[in-house]
């Protein structure tokens, strides 16, 4: 029984149909408001420069639609590179951070060793610090290492996630000790305990954290904007943010709209593959801070 179950029981059916229709109208209207920016963007990418603003969605004369925005985007801007850079960096950082976090979480959940308590305390402490305060110190370090304008400045700091280790520690606690013990007796190495026994058990968490990490890195702006300096090394958010600040560099806003739309595609595809794990992770409350 749920909060609204009264409507289906002893009330007149006429009233309950009205309620159902009203509910759907309200929800559909809210969904439309939420989705309209995407529809507007989808229309905008096919419009010529002067039509972008003169017609709200599509121009009345559909022959005026064009693919030239995409053409300009790839020919006059380094958009292809930004896309490749974003895909490479987000994937590489995600693979690294999922691997290291699941290893760390496995150890913290299933082993006793010296310094474990201190490590957990330090980790808890760093969770409370907003990442921006680290940036001045981090920039000095990266500058000393000679990593300014290199991807190492993004890959190495991105590979360690305290939040990720805590997530996996929580998930790994659910791996039965008897299972690990039995595998050990059968001659399984400690590394294979992690790879063959523990990882399959926490598979939904791998999916959820992969999505979370990829979205975070895909949209990351502040730190990449500070360390990356060459146009050809930019990621999508930096390239697009620069495009909007210098309109008229190409054919107005059209190419920018095309780039914005294209930048949403890879992340949407990944979401469709992993959304089940992600929603399950949310529902179990595991992804709460």
Partner 1 sequence: MTRSKLWQLQHRYAPQLFISPFVILLAIFLLYPLTKSVVLSAYSTAGGPRNQKFIGLDNYRFLLHDRLFWGATLNTVFYAVGLISLQIPISLALALLLNSPLLRFRSVFRFIFFSTYLVGGVVGAIIFSMLLDARHGLVNNTLSFLLRRTIEIDWLGQPNLAMISILIAALWLSIGYGMIYLLAGLQAIDPELYDAANMDGAGPWHRFIHITLPELRGVLGFLIVVGTIGAFQLFELPYVLFRQSTGPASRGLTVVMYLFLTGFQAGDLGYAAAIGWMLVLLIFAVSLIQIRVLRLHKTR
d(C-alpha 183, C-alpha 175), whole Å: 12
Q: Which stretch binds partner 1 (CB under 8 A): 27-35, 66-74, 174-182, 201-209?
A: 27-35
Window 216-235: residues binding partner 1 (CB under 8 A): 218-222, 226
Residue 196, interface with partner 1 (CB under 8 A)? no
Residue 136, interface with partner 1 (CB under 8 A)? yes
Give the phi and the psi of residue 250 in degrees, each rounded to 5. Answer: -125, -145
Residue 264, interface with partner 1 (CB under 8 A)? yes
Applying CB under 8 A, which of residues 11, 15, 18, 38 lies at the interface with partner 1? 38
Q: Closest distance between partner 1 and the C-beta of residue 142, in Å?
A: 9
Cβ neighbors of 127 (< 8 A, separation 6 or more) are: 162, 163, 166
Handedness of CA 231, 236, 237, 241 (dihedral sign): positive
Handedness of CA 114, 177, 287, 238 (dihedral sign): positive
229-to-155, 223, 235 alpha-carbon distances in Å: 16, 12, 11
Q: Which stretch binds partner 1 (CB under 8 A): 71-79, 155-163, 174-182, 200-208?
A: 155-163
Q: Which stretch binds partner 1 (CB under 8 A): 33-41, 66-74, 175-183, 200-208?
A: 33-41
Residue 133, interface with partner 1 (CB under 8 A)? yes
Residue 194, interface with partner 1 (CB under 8 A)? yes
Cβ distance to partner 1 smaller for residue 62 or 133: 133
Q: Closest distance between partner 1 and the C-beta of residue 176, in Å?
A: 18
Burial string for 167-192 (b: 16+ CB within 10 Å, else e) reads bbbbbbeebeeeebeebeeeebeeee
Please, are residues 236 and 86 in contact by the beta-carbon 8 Å criterion?
Answer: yes
Applying CB under 8 A, which of residues 65, 138, 183, 201 lies at the interface with partner 1? 138
- Show the site string, 60-99: x = touches partner 1 by CB under 8 A, - = not: ----------------------------------------
Round to the nearest angstrom and report the end-to-end CA distance of the chain: 31
Residue 24, interface with partner 1 (CB under 8 A)? yes
Residue 118, interface with partner 1 (CB under 8 A)? no
């Amino acid at each position: 029984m749920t909060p609204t179950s009264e409507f289906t029981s002893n009330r007149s059916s006429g009233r309950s149909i009205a309620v159902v229709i009203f509910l759907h109208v309200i929800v559909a209207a809210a969904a439309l408001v939420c989705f309209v920016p995407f529809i507007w963007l989808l229309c905008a990418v096919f419009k010529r420069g002067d039509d972008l603003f003169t017609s709200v969605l599509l121009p009345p004369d559909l022959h005026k639609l064009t693919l030239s925005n995409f053409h300009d985007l790839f020919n006059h801007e380094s958009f292809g590179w930004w896309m490749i850079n974003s895909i490479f960096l987000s994937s590489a950082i995600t693979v690294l951070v999922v691997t290291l976090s699941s290893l760390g979480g496995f150890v913290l959940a299933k082993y006793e060793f010296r310094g474990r308590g201190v490590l957990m305390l330090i980790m808890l402490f760093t969770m409370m610090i907003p990442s921006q305060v680290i940036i001045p110190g981090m920039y000095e370090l990266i500058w000393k290492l000679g990593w300014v304008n290199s991807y190492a400045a993004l890959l190495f700091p991105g590979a360690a996630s305290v939040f990720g280790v805590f997530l996996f520690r929580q998930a790994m606690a659910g791996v039965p000790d008897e299972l690990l013990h039995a595998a050990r007796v059968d001659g399984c190495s400690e590394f294979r305990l992690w790879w063959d026994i523990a990882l399959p058990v926490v598979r939904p968490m791998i999916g959820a954290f992969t999505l979370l990490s990829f979205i975070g890195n895909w949209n990351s702006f502040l730190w990449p904007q500070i360390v990356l300096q060459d146009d050809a090394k930019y990621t999508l958010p930096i390239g697009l943010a620069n495009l909007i600040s210098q309109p008229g560099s190409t054919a107005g806003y059209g190419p920018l709209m095309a780039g914005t739309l294209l930048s949403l595609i890879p992340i949407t595809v990944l979401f469709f593959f992993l959304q089940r794990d992600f929603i399950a992770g949310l529902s179990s409350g595991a992804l709460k801070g």
